[in-house]
Structures are given as C-alpha cells and as structure tokens.
Amino acid sequence: MNTLISSITPALSADRAHEIAQSLDLRALPRDFLDNPYPVYAALRETEPFKRMSDGSYFLTRHADLVAVYRDAKVFSSDKQVEFGPKYNHAPFNEPPFTSAGGVAPLFEHHTNSLVFNDAPRHTRVRRLIMGALTRRAIEAMEPGLVQLVDGLLDRLQERGGGDLIEDFASAIPVEIIGNLLDVPHADREPLRGWSLAILGALEPALTPEQEAHGNRSVNEFLAYLRELVAHRRQHPGDPEHDVLTRLIQGEKEGEISGEALSEVELLQNCVFLLNAGHETTTNLIGNALITLQEWPEQRKQLQADLKAATSDDDRAHILGLAVDEFLRFESSNQLGNRRALQATQVNGVDLPAGALVTLCMGAANRDPAVYDQPEQLNLRRTGNKHLAFGFGVHQCAGLSLARLEGRIAIGRFLQRFPHYQLTQLPQRGGRARFRGFLNAPFQTV
C-alpha cells in the first residue's frame, strides 16, 4: 500500500487511545481522535461503556445500551429546548442581527423545531407528512432520474480525467435529490451546501464564535429564501405525491381542521432540516465509501468481482445493498446522537437520574464485538448488519431508503465507470466529531 493511502486513517496506539478515553471531553477533542476515533471507542467499551463526563452527562458506546435508549422514547426525550438554550441563546447571538422573530438565536429556533429534535405528538405529525412523499413507490420512481444525474457527473469527471470525490461527485448528488423533493429551482441550489455545513456544524460539542455566527447567518439566509419559495408554492402547488413542500403546505390546511396545523416556523424549519439532513449524511456515505475502498484494496477487488459476476439487476442491487450497509457501519456518517432522561431510570442495570443527558455513540456501537464478527474489518459481504447509522426506533431516519438508493447508484456506477480510480492527494477530513466525512478528496480516473 502506498504512503498516501496508508495515511488516510492514521493508526492510534492502544496507550494513546486509553489516554484520550480517560480524559474524554467532547468540547476539546484532540486532532488524532478526530482522525481516528475508533480505538478510543474500543477502549471506552472495554473500560467505561457508561462513561460519566466532566459536565455530568453520560457517553454510551455499547450497541445494546444504545438500542435500549432508542426503544424507550417515552423516558428518553429527543427535545433539545433544555440543552440548546444555554448553547445558542447567549449574547451576542440573542441580539440583532441574529435574533429571530421569536426573540431567540436562529440556531436555537431551527434545531428545536426540526423533526429530529422533537418528541411525539409533534414529531409524529411532521414525520407522517414527510413520509407520505417518501413511500417505496415514490423512491423507486426517483431511480431513473438519479441514474441520469450520476451518469452526467461521471461524464464530466471522465472528460477531465478526474476531479474531487466530494466537491464534484458525492456532495452534488444529495443536493439535487433533496432539491428535487422540495422542487427548489436549479438556479437556486448553489448556496445549499454551504448553509448545510454551517448549520449542522453548529451541532458540534464546541463552537468558535465565528462558527456560531456563521451558523446563525446561514439559518437566516436559508429562511429568507424559503419564505419566498413557500409563498410561490402556495400560489402554484406541486404534486403532493412527489413534492414534500406541497405536502407540508397541504398539511397546514388539513391540520386547521384537526387542530394539528403546522405553524409557519415548523414548516420553514423542517424544510431547512430536510435539505440539511439529506445532504450531509448522504454526502458522507458516498465519500466515505469511495475513500474507504482505497484503504481496503482487497475488499474493493472483491466487490468489483462480485458486481461483474452478477447475472441480474436484482443481484447487483443486493450486492451493493450489503456494501452500502457495511460502509454505513464501518464509517458512520453520523457518529453521535443525544437524549435526555425525563425521569430516573435504568439502562441495562445502570442507574440514570432524572434530567441525565446521554450521548449515544453510533460510531462505537457499530463496531461492538458483542454484535459484529471482526468489527474492525471492512466486510462488504456482511449479512444481518444491524448497524445504527440511521438510528433506531421512532426516530430512525425518515430518509434511510432514499439514502440507501443514492448510495447504491452512486457507488455502483462510479466503480463501473472508473474501476482503477486513485487518490492524488491526501483527503481532507471535516474535523468534526458528530458528522464524519471529508471536505475534499482529489482523484484521477486512471
């Protein structure tokens, strides 16, 4: 293996992993942890699977413990009002020019109104409206357009002899797909990725003042655009079977009768959420997969051989489906989640007090040897893959089927077109703990 490829995910010694694990502070993570957190996760699973953090919260790393928390949505709340108030509503970000109409910081208003950070019945109402446009039939109908999009991107990369795996390929796909779901005009899509990175980046445990200001500005700019788009869609509705924004608007009207109307804030903030969540995680899935294949040449060779030997489209989809789920397990796009205990409770025999804040480490749970055989090995033929990359339970990712389809089409057609692609520079990681991915990865088609 050449020096470039071997240094993508640098090794972390056992001693260093235990040192980081003992003093783990999510607000001050060292660079070597961000480059390769998995040895630290392994150390925590072995020694402190319910780690008590210096701020009084708990950091969970075992698969069974995460599943137990996910299952108990009545006790473990996803609502972030308590947690995000101190994080975002402080001077100068609760004052003009940042303050929202509700008198709070834009990041606070956005994240506490988005689908993923709410409990039933509010969560149930919004999720039902969104899922109505993400039925199996609707997603299957997206496949021809997705194939056309991916092939067009590959054509441009082939003409140039390469490009950037992230900027020119992985990030371009979900922006178009989610943009299509909300029927955002193509001419308006350029700022979407920048807004997404800034808003989701503000979920990291530690923020600089510059990052927080950028996040707040991005929320305001995004909302200003969406108000115009919503006003236009109210005058010119789309097809609610395919247009999520039209479904959400119609849900307002239907809710006026049932008493479950979406407020203007809920409508706008969940449009922001859809564009952000669908973009970031799928970009990371595709980018992580293609870069991981560079680090695991035998698995790459095996996958290409399996695809070549496939005798039908169904066989090919099955092979790629197993591979996508293994990429999601091995390098989870979203590594961390959070819950708050509404009452004193137990998780697998461990007592938690009322109000306990719990960090769920999907990146660690997805490599738990109690669940997976050889969890530190990439195995693209792995079956029965119970990974938690999409969460679990009532809050499991609403777009998981769409993300899997995007992953299968993007990765499969890329490998078919460029079977010998190579990185030409060391990829640049995003440097974040919650969302694991790359900012750029230059490559040549060879």
pLDDT score at 16: 98
pLDDT score at 133: 73
Q: Would the pLDDT of 174 be above 80?
A: yes
Helix/strand/coil (H/E/C) assignment for every residue in the chain: CCHHHHCCCCCCCHHHHHHHHHCCCCCCCCHHHHHCCHHHHHHHHHHCCEEECCCCCEEECCHHHHHHHHHCCCCEECCCHHHHHHHHCCCCCCCCCCCCCCCCCHHHHHHCCCHHHCCCCHHHHHHHHHHCCCCHHHHHHHHHHHHHHHHHHHHHHHHHCEEECHHHHHCHHHHHHHHHHCCCCHHHCCCHHHHHHHHHHCCCCCCCHHHHHHHHHHHHHHHHHHHHHHHHHHHCCCCCCCCHHHHHHHHHHHHHHHCCCCCHHHHHHHHHHHHHHHHHHHHHHHHHHHHHHHHCHHHHHHHHHHHHHCCCHHHHHHHHHHHHHHHHHHCCCECEEEEEECCCEEECCEEECCCCEEEEEHHHHCCCCCCCCCCCCCCCCCCCCCCCCCCCHHHCCCCHHHHHHHHHHHHHHHHHHCCCCEECCCCEECCCCCECCEEECEEECC
Q: Which domains does the chain have, with CATH numbers?
A: 3-444 (1.10.630.10)
What region does 341 belong to: left with phi over 0, alpha with psi -120 to 50, or beta? Answer: beta
The edge-to-edge listing of strands for the beta sheet with 50-52 is 50-52, 58-60, 357-361, 336-341, 76-77
Residue range 11-31, pLDDT digits in tens: 999 999 999 999 999 999 999
Q: Is the pTM of this model over 0.85?
A: yes
Q: Would the pLDDT of 340 be above 50?
A: yes
pLDDT score at 255: 47
Q: Model confidence at 348, in pLDDT bands (50, 70, 90)?
A: very high
Instruction: Share the mean pLDDT of the chain.
Output: 91
pLDDT score at 54: 94
Q: Model confidence at 98, in pLDDT bands (50, 70, 90)?
A: low
Give the lowest-confidence range in 269-283, 332-346, 390-404: 269-283
Backbone angles phi, psi at 97, to 5 degrees: -90, 5
User: Of residues 302 and 123, which shows the higher confidence score?
Assistant: 302
Q: Would the pLDDT of 316 be above 80?
A: yes
Residue range 133-150, pLDDT digits in tens: 778 888 888 899 999 999
pLDDT score at 257: 43
pLDDT score at 47: 96
pLDDT score at 101: 58
Q: Would the pLDDT of 398 be above 90?
A: no
For the chain, the residue count is 446
pLDDT score at 46: 96
Token couple for 51:
């780690």
User: Of residues 179 and 381, which shows the higher confidence score?
Assistant: 381
Could you tell me whether strands 350-352 and 345-347 are parallel, antiparallel, or unpaired per DSSP bridges? antiparallel
Residue range 205-260, pLDDT digits in tens: 888 999 999 999 999 999 999 999 999 999 999 988 888 888 888 875 554 445 55
Give the lowest-confidence range in 47-51, 254-258, 260-264: 254-258
The whole-angstrom separation of Cα 266 and Cα 273 is 10
The whole-angstrom separation of Cα 191 and Cα 353 is 43
The whole-angstrom separation of Cα 130 and Cα 132 is 5
pLDDT score at 4: 66
pLDDT score at 96: 59
Please give the average per-residue pLDDT across 414-433, as a whole number.
95
Q: Model confidence at 434, in pLDDT bands (50, 70, 90)?
A: very high
Please give the average per-residue pLDDT across 172-191, as a whole number.
90
Give the lowest-confidence range in 95-104, 292-301, 359-368: 95-104
Calculate the alpha carbon distances from 432 to 90, 197, 354 in Å. Answer: 23, 11, 29
Please give the average per-residue pLDDT across 383-402, as a whole number.
92
Percent of the chain with pLDDT over 70: 93
Name 416's bridge partners.
none
